[in-house]
Structure 1
Amino acid sequence: MQIIDSGRFVPAADGSADFAEHLSVPALSFGTYSIPAGAKDDQSPHNEDEIYVVTSGRASFTSGGETVEVGPGTALFVPAREEHRFHDVTEDLVTLVFFAPAYSGIPQD
């Protein structure tokens, strides 16, 4: 067993969005993604399926041509290689992020 300290708001040193990976095994990886209010989410599609679980904050999220409002408790599934983005972040946002298989860090093919 491993206890992981996650779900706290931790932006990058320059105040921008920040992804921190906490666990990686071949089948999946887990991290947190913090986006300050008003900041830009500039991620690119990945080669892995992904699940976000919002733990705090509020924003809009667009994926697959659909936009939804998100807040604490919202869970989102994004298939591999699908363009997606958080935007209009009105409250500092923290999400738990799960990738399957483990996040490679390699942009989509």
Structure 2
Amino acid sequence: MEIIDSGRFVPTEDGAADYAEHLRVPALSFGTYSIPAGATDGQSPHNEDEIYVVTSGRGSFTSGGHTVEVGPGTTLFIPAREEHRFHDITEDLVALVFFAPAYTGIPQP
């Protein structure tokens, strides 16, 4: 068993968004994503299905042509290869991130 502090805000030294992986098995990977207020989420689509669970902070999220406001408790499913991003972050945001299968880090072709 491993206990993970999933609500801690941890941006990079330059104040950018930061993804930290905490668990990896072939079928699944899990991490936390920290995005400072006002920062840009520059991610590209992935080859894996993805679930976000926002644990703290506020902002907006766009995926598949739909935009929603997000805050603590918001849960989002993004199918593989779909364009998506957080934006208009008004409070430092932290989300749990689940990838299935495990995240490869390789953007879609």
TM-score (structure 2 length as normaliser): 0.98
CA distance in 1, matches of 2:49, 2:7: 20
SS in 2 for 1:40: coil
TM-score (structure 1 length as normaliser): 0.98
Shift of 1:53: 0.2
After the TM superposition, which residues 37-48 of structure 1 pair with which residues of structure 2 at under 5 Å, given as runs? 37-48=37-48
1:22-60: CA deviation from partner (whole Å, max 9, x where unpaired): 000001000000000000000000000000000000000
Aligned to 1:28: 28
After the TM superposition, which residues 82-101 of structure 1 pair with which residues of structure 2 at under 5 Å, given as runs? 82-101=82-101
Identify unmatched segments of 5+ residues in structure 1. none
Shift of 1:5: 2.4
Note if 1:73 corresponds to 2:52.
no
* Percent of matched pairs sharing the same residue: 85
SS in 1 for 2:76: strand
CA distance in 2, matches of 1:41, 1:31: 16
Pairwise CA RMSD: 0.6
Runs of 4+ in 1 over 4 A off after TM superposition: none
Identify unmatched segments of 5+ residues in structure 2. none
Shift of 1:95: 0.3
The one-letter amino acid of 1:27's match is A
The one-letter amino acid of 2:12's match is A
Shift of 1:4: 1.8
Q: How many residues align?
A: 109
The one-letter amino acid of 1:2's match is E
Bigger CA drift: 67-76 or 4-13?
4-13
Note if 1:57 corresponds to 2:95.
no
Bigger CA drift: 1-10 or 78-87?
1-10
